[in-house]
Amino acid sequence: MNWSSASGRQELEAKLRRFGSGSDSAINLADAALLIAALDSPKAPIEVYQEHLRELARDTAEQAVGRRCDSSLEERIESLRATLVDRHGYAGDQETYDDLQNANLMRVIDRRKGLPIALGILYIHCARSQSWTVSGLNFPGHFMLRFDLGSERAIVDPFNEAKVRDTAELRTILKAFAGNEAELKPEHYTPMLNRDILIRLLNNNKLRLMQDKRVNQAVEMIETMLMIAPERAGIWHDAGALHARVGNLRAAILAFEHYMDLSHDSDMKNQTADLLAELKARLN
């Protein structure tokens, strides 16, 4: 990708839409996350961050030399830890966890700290640069990574220096977030699509912005999600609700109409039809 041409917001958005219209497997997570970060500062030297990603890949390859990475999952994880934690100093932001910078990959690279999902994208980038099998897990409250090698599997916590989490630890983390009645289920170990990882990254900031009553900025997060996942009915519905909340009635109507075209939920479509009629009446 020629990052030097990404000089303005429109061009950045066009690049994200190309990710959105392509196959999920064609999405390069770290590249897409940098584009998302650059929307906040379109004139930032994105090529500097792209070079850092290349450096991380080179360092991972160097760390893998002399290790049994072809046959050992543990050695692969150690190579990643040596690269990201020991050499480059990446860590979870324990002190200012809710800082919006923690989900912006440019700022994560600058500060060497971030949320589990932002750090996880860097681990995925490094692992895939070596053709190692790694997936993101949509674990409640705490993004995790799943590494596979043959019949061997490990669940890794990117927020805590690539610590391998066993079942008991995962259960404790789950209950701390979802309550004592929560139990581990097969879907907690199911690999996420690349597109869903990016949506979760954006959703972290959307939720924090909503908590701070910064709804207009939350709308921007939703609009970015739609660039990446234009066929997701639920995101169009959320976009309609947020646009209506800030008084963008035409944008809300358009979003709800897209939802109606994409959704197969008859009950929600009936409710949305009523909302549409109300919004159109207000517009007239």
pLDDT in tens, 68-125: 999 999 999 999 999 999 999 999 999 999 999 999 999 999 999 999 999 999 999 9
- Give phi and psi for 113, each to the nearest 5: -155, 155
Same domain, 178 and 217: no
> 4 falls in which pLDDT band (50, 70, 90)?
very low
**Cα 79 to Cα 26: distance, rounded to the nearest angstrom:** 25
- If asked whether residues 10 and 130 sit together in one domain, one would say yes
Say if CB 37 and CB 107 are below 8 A apart. Answer: yes
Query: Which two structure tokens, joined as six digits, stand for 54?
Result: 């290349």
pLDDT of residue 1: 43
For residue 186, is pLDDT > 70? yes
Residues 221 and 122 in one domain: no
pTM: 0.94
In angstroms, rounded to a whole number, what is the distance separating the alpha carbons of residues 75 and 78? 5
* Res 5: pLDDT: 42
Q: How far apart are CA 235 and CA 222, in angstroms?
A: 7
Q: Among 171, 189, 207, where does a domain finish?
A: 189
Do 93 and 157 belong to one domain?
A: yes
Q: What is the pLDDT of residue 9?
A: 85
Phi first, then psi: what are they for 45, rounded to 5°? -75, 80
Number of separate domains in the chain: 2
* Residue 65: exposure state from Cβ atoms within 10 A (0-12, 13-18, ≥19): exposed
Residues in the chain: 284
Look at residue 7 in the predicted model and tell me its pLDDT.
52
Q: State whether 97 and 225 are in the same domain.
A: no
pLDDT value at residue 42: 77
Same domain for 165 and 276, yes or no, is no
Domain co-membership, 174 together with 214: no
Q: Give the domain extent around 211.
A: 195-283
pLDDT band at 40 (very low <50, low <70, confident <90, very high): confident
CA gap 103, 114 in Å, rounded? 6
Q: Is pLDDT of 43 > 90?
A: no
Task: Indicate if the pLDDT at residue 233 is higher than 80.
Answer: yes
Nearest-angstrom CA–CA distance, 83 and 86: 6
Q: What is the mean pLDDT of the chain?
A: 94
Q: Could you tell me the two tokens for 193?
A: 């699509």
User: How much of the chain exceeds pLDDT 70, in percent?
Assistant: 98
Q: Where are the alpha helices (DSSP H) in the chain?
A: 9-21, 29-38, 46-64, 73-81, 105-111, 116-129, 167-178, 194-211, 215-228, 233-245, 249-262, 266-283
Across residues 15-36, what is the average pLDDT? 96
Rounded-to-integer distance, Cα 230 and Cα 17, Å: 8
Name the domain boundary from 159, 189, 219. 189
Whether residues 184 and 223 share a domain: the answer is no
SS3 132: coil
